[in-house]
Structure 1
Amino acid sequence: MAPPAYEHVRESAFTPDITPIVLAAHRDNYEIIKILLDRNASIPMPHDVRCVCGECVTNTGTDSLRHSRSRLNAYRALSSPSLIALSSKDPILTSFELSWELNYLSNIENEFKTEYEELTKKCQDFATALLDQTRTSQELEVILNHETGAQPTGEPGEVIPTAERMTLSRLKLAIKYKQKQ
């Protein structure tokens, strides 16, 4: 018996902004995220909430709620601890910056305020969890004194005097980004 001549309508349980890597990041599935990143999948940063590019103007004019929802979906994926750990050279800095941006968005996009606040907390918790993984005070010292973009000084194994190494750059950065935890 021949199959019925139905018109094939492509239906999906997800909106077009939910790509495989976005879905894996929403689920915080480390293995799938790693496979997709190894195959050059990426999640582009959403446009600014006040962006006036042609694409944003069109999307906002067509369905502003859907446009806002797609931005939220992207940020929900970008705040995945597994994605941050796998894709960032400096996961603590990435968490700080993302948390700062999400906090800003929670004040701008009132319809998703609660969701953005939850994502802000998620990023802050991830940065704290990374610090919790330190095993020695020396490891903690290295993390707290790490300067973004700084080149290592001295030779490997060289002991740098305590006064020179106690800049607490990370701690100052946490204060700047209002990371209370």
Structure 2
Amino acid sequence: MTLAKNHLPVKLLDAQKRKSPGLEFAGATHSTEFPEHVTPLILAAQCRNYEAVGLLVARGHAIDRPHPPHCACDDCKSLAHDDPLNASSARLSVYRAISSPAYLVHMESDPILAAFRLSAELNANATAYRHFSAAYLALKAEVSAFPVDLISCCRTSEEVEIILKQTSGSRGRRHFVLPRLLMAVDYKQKEFVAHPNTQQVRLFS
């Protein structure tokens, strides 16, 4: 459901836009409650507010994905000169937002594929940022549960087949009957592979 134009959050965003076109996209400034990197979309995604995320995405909001660990680009080199703890905390905060189901369903055309890839990405971050390893692994578990929840919602074998026969990101395995299942194996998505809905379709394919 889309928020009505006279809804208070919409009015506030419109007021910011009139004041300065980029203001509604900015992070929290001069806030005692939120760090500066927390934008409206990051906060909405972390709160798993589907309606708010949908509204913000429709208005053109997006979240800049963190660069890979140990990236040597100019931006990352600049961040390296900042407070390391602050930079690492902000990075984890962004991952908490992009790992949200509310964000995945609104921003990704293929949320299951995105969740598989994000799971691997979070695992790499857990290795690279040992002081936040437990937090990244917890996020990984949540992200891995998302595709399982989706396939649990399937009511018929046909619906499960539609998911498992998706070929996007299949790395040249399009000729397999269930390419998405092979991808789940590649990404070590054990619960997705072992789910009864998945296994039933696999046995009869």
Range class of TM-score, shorter chain: 0.7 to 0.9
Q: Residues 113 and 169 of structure 2 are in contact (CA less than 8 Å); yes or no, is this contact kept in structure 1?
A: no
d(CA) in 1 for partners of 2:118 and 2:75? 23
Q: Relative to structure 1, is the Cα distance of residues 60 and 129 closer, same or farther in structure 2, using a 3 angstrom cutoff?
A: same
SS for the counterpart of 2:132 is helix
Q: Percent identity?
A: 37
* Aligned counterpart for 1:144 among listed residues 140, 164, 174: 164
1:36-86 deviation per Cα after TM superposition (whole angstroms, max 9, x unaligned): 001000001111221222222222222111111111111110000011011
The superposition leaves residues 106-144 of structure 1 with CA deviations (integer Å, 9 ceiling, x where unpaired) of 111101001100110111110100101111011111211
In structure 2, the partner of 1:177 is 187
TM-superposed deviation, 1:166: 6.5
Secondary structure of 1:62's counterpart equals coil
Runs of 4+ in 1 over 6 A off after TM superposition: none
Structure 1 match to 2:55: 35
TM-score (norm 1): 0.83
Q: What TM-score, normalized to structure 2? A: 0.73
Distance 1:83 1:169 in 2: 25
Q: How many residues align?
A: 160
Matches of 1:28 and 1:180 in 2, distance apart? 25
| Structure 2 residues not aligned, in runs of 5+ | 1-28, 192-205
Residue number in structure 2 paired with 1:155: none
Structure 1 segment 1-181 matched on structure 2, within 5 A = 10-148=30-168, 167-181=177-191
